Chains A and B, each alone.
Chain A
Amino acid sequence: MRIPFIYNVRSVMQRPYSTALTALGIALVVAVFIGMLALANGFAAALAKTGSSANVIVLRRGADSELSSGLGRDVASMIAASPHVATGTDGRPLVSPEVYVLIPLGKSFDTTQLANVVVRGVSDQAWMVRANVKMVAGQRPTSGRPEVCVGQRLVARFPHTGIGQSLHFAGRDWTVACHFSAAGSAFESEIWGENEQFMPVFRGEVFQSITFRLKNPAAFDDARRALQDDKRMTVDAHRESDFYSQQSQLLGRILAILAWAITSIMAVGAVFGAVNTMYAAIAARSPEIAVLMTLGFKPSSVLTSFLFESAVIAAVGGLIGCLLALPINGLVTSTTNWASFSEIAFSFRVTPLLLLNGFLFAVVMGLIGGFFPAWRAARLRVVQALR
């Protein structure tokens, strides 16, 4: 027969301080756990959302990032003529040969702190090739004029990024004509302008990457083979979505490993706390336990009862931890993505799944912490305990 749960709940309330301290300890572990994984999640999500699976990005063979790549105009025109490229409503191929460079910009809060910001020179078609990019304010830069469009995540963090203001880089002034959003992706940390204007001021007659929309997204392998086997060029073709998730792998993995390492060490400490609490509880209540057993409750019922008690304390801690971690959802932070060497801004992402994991993590801590004390309770000798 089961011992009624109300017995545990009331017992827990008998010693509020000790219970609260244990639960809070667990809450902090859960909050750190959720917070760190939210960081890793947010970073991975920002890059994963950047690429589209319908797009292909072409780099020079062997280049592991856009920065280290270089492609000539001949390659751009060969790709534009490829039968795998989709065509837009105006009948032109959806191809964007792009110039990709990093420039140092001083941050708003401290202009001596420089960050490497991506400047991307795109073709007219880029706005259609990248389906997730949307103008949120201003007018699209006019071809031929020194105008740029700024990703909305840059606006608050860097000075001179308001519409109508001018940014100075590559020895010239560029008027900010518009702001764009890109569904929270890494594009929002970039400055876009016209590729033909950027070419002469940066690296000369060379594109860094060519991105195009696939006519048939399922035919990626055919397109890739056609491009890579083409003797006229030495290129690698990647699905855009894969390319950007690849870029997040290094830092994403570091963050995830860090999250697990830190929280598991913390968790051990918190479990020790739970063990102490439960042993003390059981020692104080051994006469009660003896009475329960005398009444005919089986040792196994005592075991489950105390395990349950420990799990309840931990679950309360888990809930508090989730609540503590919730406010960080959406908080914007930035770091350098070492795979591309550029700074990207992204937001912490607390997902329901993550909250659930945090909660389960707490319950598991409670069960582990409660097991040995509960085992001891179940094996209590009735006669001795009643003395």
Chain B
Amino acid sequence: MRFTLIKNVKEDKAMKPLLNGLLLFILLYILFDIFVKSHTMGLSVSTVTTTLFGNADEFLDPMNESVFLEFVHMQIFFLMMILLTLSAVYARLLHKKSKTVLMLNILLFTALLTPLSLVAAYFYSAEFIGIYLFTFFTWHIVAFYMATASLWELNCAK
């Protein structure tokens, strides 16, 4: 993460387009992740419930335990890598703003709760699906805001 060492990232001819590209791709990931999840896991309490536990009326099987664990394992890896990168860029560009640490805490705490609540929903109680959906949408919204705020700071802010 060389951008953390450069004094003025906004004026650097190499780092500025690099960070613009990175932030655009992070934005694309955030958007497409929602589409993918709507097809694989579902984005409402009823669709997530059906995906995890099946539906006897519609002859849908529940999600296999090992498939579920692999899904969660993969999600954790992608979450930590994407959000660490976004957090580092956001912290570097907007470290003078008072709410930066708060935004990071909201983003990372809700992102951390997302796989945890899904595991709790699968193994303990379906009531955790509501928490899963709330944290899922919260981290996506906050990440979207942080990526656009970073792009603004990089290109438009004085």
Genuine A/B complex: no
Interface residues in chain B, defined as those with a beta carbon under 8 Å from any beta carbon in chain A:
none
Interface residues in chain A, defined as those with a beta carbon under 8 Å from any beta carbon in chain B:
none
